[in-house]
Structures are given as structure tokens and as C-alpha cells.
Amino acid sequence: MSHFARVENGVVTQVIVAEQDFINTGLVGDPISWVQTSYNTYGGQHRLGGTPLRKNYAGIGYSYNSELDAFVPPQPFASWTLDSETGLWNAPVPMPVAEGKFYTWDEDTTEWIEQNIPTE
């Protein structure tokens, strides 16, 4: 079985498991509005080493960018930019990498803020 995303006005509104032949019957609407997606694809990589399909697995609310042939998640912040290779959004500065530390993005200052997580 395959996964298909219904794309309406460029936005994913539904994701189903089906075969291409079923989509082609028109029982679930115009076949042209359905685009195949793969739950094994994320960031332009296939998790099992296969061929990636459309950069990311489609989710409701994602957009379908036909120029990139990619499913793109909603933009998390206005300052973030789309990476055309992965179909994912990047912060203007990379998140710090520090073992045991957690960060959240602050759009007002456009920087990562370390979070103090209490330990028991």
C-alpha cells in the first residue's frame, strides 16, 4: 500500500493509505488532487536507505511545493528560511549543541534561549 495526500489550493488536507488504482477511480475526488507521499522520507532522506519521495512525509497543514516537488511543513517562525534540499525550515542561526541542554527559539531576538529543565 502507498500513502497519498490530498492537496487543495497547495495545502495538504488529508492523507490516506491506498493504491494508485483506487485513487484513479475518482471515488475519493479528482485523482489530480492526490499526490503520493512516503512515511519513510524526512528531510530529503529515505530512512531505510531507499529513494526519498517529495522531501518529507505529508502532514495535514503541510504545503505541497510543486517547483521543489516537496511536502513542506508550516513555517515555524517568520525569520526561518526554507532549505530547498531538505524541504525543512532553518533558523537564521543554528541551534547550539550542548549535551544535556535544551533550547527554544525566541523570534523577538532571533536567537536560541537556553531552558532550565529541573531535574529530580
Q: Residue 73: inside a domain, yes or no?
A: yes
* Per-residue model confidence as pLDDT tens digits over 44-94: 999 999 999 999 999 999 999 999 999 999 999 999 999 999 999 999 999
Q: Residue 120: inside a domain, yes or no?
A: no
Number of independent structural domains in the chain: 1
Q: How far is CA 113 from CA 29, 46, 78, 84, 103, in A?
A: 46, 32, 17, 27, 5
Task: Quote the pLDDT of residue 32.
Answer: 98
Q: Residue 8: inside a domain, yes or no?
A: yes
Residue 119 clears pLDDT 80, i.e. is over it: no
Task: Quote the pLDDT of residue 99.
Answer: 86
For residue 63, give the nearest of 42, 91, 35, 26 by alpha carbon: 35
How buried is residue 34: exposed, middle or buried, by Cβ count under 10 Å (0-12/13-18/19+)?
Answer: buried
Domain that holds residue 23: 2-115
Q: Residue 87: inside a domain, yes or no?
A: yes
